[in-house]
Structure 1
Amino acid sequence: MLEQRIQQQFFECADLQVQAADALARPLTDAVHAVLGCITAGGKLMVCGSGAATADAQHLAAQFVGRFERERPGLAALALGADGVLASALARERGADVLAKQVLALGAPGDVLVVLAPVGPDDSIVAAVQAAHGKDMTVIAFTGRAAPGLSAELTETDVHLAVPHDRAARIREVHVLALHCLCDAVDVQLMGEQEPTS
């Protein structure tokens, strides 16, 4: 019984990844173009996530600054809210929103804000998106099927990658794959086809 339940998790994940391949291929291509336009113009990627997706945001920023699967010069990226001391100091300010304040202080026109909200955005994610638009930044939003609070904030120049599912675990699994696709595609566009070194 337990083995069957475990197998079912794998099957459900695999089925969703096949569905998501169709649903996300075009928006992922648009996201790659947005990131490349930003990076090649000297801009930076700012990444944030809600809840457990905060770790995925930090991981994405690390893959841009460091490397994905092969060596290359670092690309400008930072994970918002990752600095615990800064976040604590900002949170102590009355009514302060940590993510939006960081976008306003560090963002510039032409930068890209990537938001990861697998179970829908919290108020801080929505405020960060609004701040990014105020700075003339493009937003790339990774969500699940239902993201009403965030969908209403996105503009036609933004990119929305909505995984066709409602369960947070499945959505995050697809988000991680999509983020890896983004990293791979950016590397291929910047450095050409080559086998990864690890």
Structure 2
Amino acid sequence: MNQDRIAAHFQSSLDGLTRAVQSNELLATTHTIAGAVADALKSGNKLLLIGNGGSAADAQHIAAEIVGRYKQERLGWAAIALTTDTSALTAIANDYGFEQIFARQVQGLAHRGDVLFALTTSGRSPNILAALKTARNLGVTTVGFTGTKGESLRASCDHLFVSPSDDTPVIQQIHMMAMHAICDAVEHMLIDATKAK
């Protein structure tokens, strides 16, 4: 029985990833997002990342790939997961409410030309929506990552990646695949640009 559940999860994940890789629209969106990140980093700007729960961990993971490295030896680039500073998170939540935990950090840390990755499987998280609104007011490029039930997030984002699934774990797996692909593309774009000089 347990083996059947495990196999079913593997199959569900594979089906979601297959739908993603076969979507020309999704691939084009991912290329566009990678280009926006590369342009920002090349210009000396930074990538900010936000999310709740598992998506918070994914945000931290991708920030580490950008600051450290993904696959290639290179200089570190600027990326901050706004999910990791417990003093800021708890102070802001205490003083302004949980809905403001990311918006307040975006207000203090973001500048025009930066990029914000907002990860929300539902597309309806109030703290994500508040941060996106603040980011857009500051001239930050806003990128949403959501699932099929989060299409309403499109109104708050310059670019929206919609995982072709409504199952939270599968959505998150596809997000991570896409963000890893973005890290790989960004490394190649920026390293190739440096070599061309």
TM-score (norm 2): 0.91
**Which ranges in structure 1 are unaligned for 5 or more consecutive residues?**
193-198
Q: Which residue of 1 aligns with 2:20?
A: 20
After TM superposition, give the deviation of residue 88 of structure 1 in Å: 1.2
Name which of structure 1's ranges 160-169 and 84-93 shifts more when overlaid on structure 2.
84-93
How far apart in 2 are the matches of 1:130 and 1:94? 16
Counterpart residue identity of residue 100, structure 1: A
User: Does the 8 A contact of 2:59 with 2:83 survive in 1?
Assistant: no
Question: Retained in 1: the 8 A contact 2:60–2:83?
Answer: no
Q: Supply the AA of the counterpart residue of 2:54.
A: A
Cα contact 2:106–2:135 (8 A) shared by 1: yes
Q: Quote the offset at 1:95 in angstroms.
A: 4.2
Are 2:171 and 1:143 aligned? no
Aligned residue in 1 for 2:119: 116
Q: How many residues align?
A: 189
Output the CA distance in 1 between the equivalents of 2:97 and 2:60: 25
Tell me which amino acid in the other structure corresponds to 1:37: D
For residues 41-190 of structure 1, the aligned pairs below 5 Å read: 41-95=43-97, 97-154=100-157, 158-190=158-190
User: Identity across aligned pairs (percent)?
Assistant: 35
State the TM-score, normalized to the length of structure 1. Answer: 0.90
Quote the offset at 1:87 in angstroms: 1.2
Q: Where is the helix percentage greater, Structure 1 or Structure 2? A: 2
- Aligned 8 A contact 1:46 1:111 in 2: yes
- 4+ residue segments displaced more than 6 Å: none
C-alpha offsets along residues 125-146 of structure 1, whole Å, 9 cap, x if unaligned?
A: 0000000001001111110011
Q: Which 5+ residue runs of structure 2 have no aligned equivalent?
A: 193-197
TM-superposed CA distance for 1:4, in Å, is 2.3
Are the equivalent residues in 2 in contact too, given 1:126–1:149 (CA < 8 A)? no
